[in-house]
Amino acid sequence: MIVNVLFFAQAAEFTGCQWHEIELSTPATVADCRRALAGTFPQLAGELPSYLIAVNCDYAGDDADLRHGDEVAVIPPVGGG
Amino acid sequence: MAGLRHSELDEQRCFAAVRSPECGAMVVFAGTARRHTGGREAVRLRFFAYEPMALREMEAIEREAIERFRLAACAIEHRLGDVLVGETAIVVAVSSPHRAAALEGAAWIMNELKRRVPIWKQEIAPDGAAIWVPNQLQTQGAAPSC
């Protein structure tokens, strides 16, 4: 399956891009996607464990299942308000 | 009513959105761009958002606040892009029949917003240098809604 990963704030600075398509073997969870991201973007790997993940605009834990076409967002600590 | 705006915010619009003849209390909170934080000086702040998710989270916070504090109405607007020192970055307006719920509800909304809405802030220093400034409320690795 392919998921589209969005990067924001510091995460986008680490990766040098705002989005990237990642191929995962089916079935896959958020944890699998985190591992793939750390492998593809070594600059992101150090901070990634402290970042949240959202799938299709909802926060998702590491055991959440992913589906082909999902939008996965890498969310560094937020600063709004 | 939740909104993300790339232009100046209007506190009066938010007030008008929550005014009701059934209410005896309205609270509006305006968060403004501060010049000094710790030892740092900023000339402006710059906000970025994951817009569709930020709007969803803001709308969820409004629904939760209305239920939790029995508010009559609630409006949240957050500005994106550059915000000069002294300008308004966020407005939260609530109304309720009595004042305690309105005061507590507005404070709760701000805490939730700072904890879970995917918006990020840069402080821009007088020399143009930009640093990311996360909110202090978010504990690392905690998943707010799962």
Q: Whole-angstrom Cα distance, residue A13 to residue B86?
A: 28
Q: Which residue of B has its CA nearest to A77?
A: B134
Q: 10 Å Cβ neighbour count for A58?
A: 15
* Contact present, B74 and B129 (Cβ < 8 Å): no
What residues does each domain of chain B span?
Answer: 2-132
- At residue A68, the 3 state secondary structure works out as coil
A73 strand-pairing partners: A6, A54
Q: What ipTM was estimated for this complex?
A: 0.96
The enclosing domain of A12 has a CATH number of: 3.10.20.30
In a domain? residue A34: yes
Element holding A71 (H helix, E strand): strand A71-75
pLDDT of residue B143: 53
pLDDT band at B140 (very low <50, low <70, confident <90, very high): very low
pLDDT of residue A23: 98
pLDDT of residue A11: 98
Q: Write out B23-43 in H/E/C secondary structure.
A: CCEEEEEEEECCCEECCEECC
User: The domain B2-132 is classified under which CATH number: 3.90.1170.40, 3.40.50.1820, 3.40.50.300, 3.30.565.10?
Assistant: 3.90.1170.40
Say whether residue B24 is in contact with chain A using an 8 A CB cutoff.
Answer: no
In a domain? residue A81: no
pLDDT band at B97 (very low <50, low <70, confident <90, very high): very high
> Given a cut of 70, is residue B146 above it in pLDDT?
no
Q: Which residues of B touch A10 (CB under 8 A)?
A: 132
pLDDT band at A10 (very low <50, low <70, confident <90, very high): very high
Q: Provide the domain count of chain A.
A: 1
pLDDT of residue B29: 97
* Contact present, B26 and B101 (Cβ < 8 Å): no
pLDDT in tens, A11-60: 999 999 999 999 999 999 999 999 999 999 999 999 999 999 999 999 99
Q: Give percent of chain B with pLDDT exceeding 70.
A: 93
> Given a cut of 90, is residue B138 above it in pLDDT?
no
Could you list the residue range(s) of the whole structural domain that residue A60 is in? 2-75
pLDDT of residue B49: 98
Minimal C-alpha gap between A1 and chain B (Å): 23
pLDDT of residue A13: 98
Minimal C-alpha gap between A58 and chain B (Å): 7
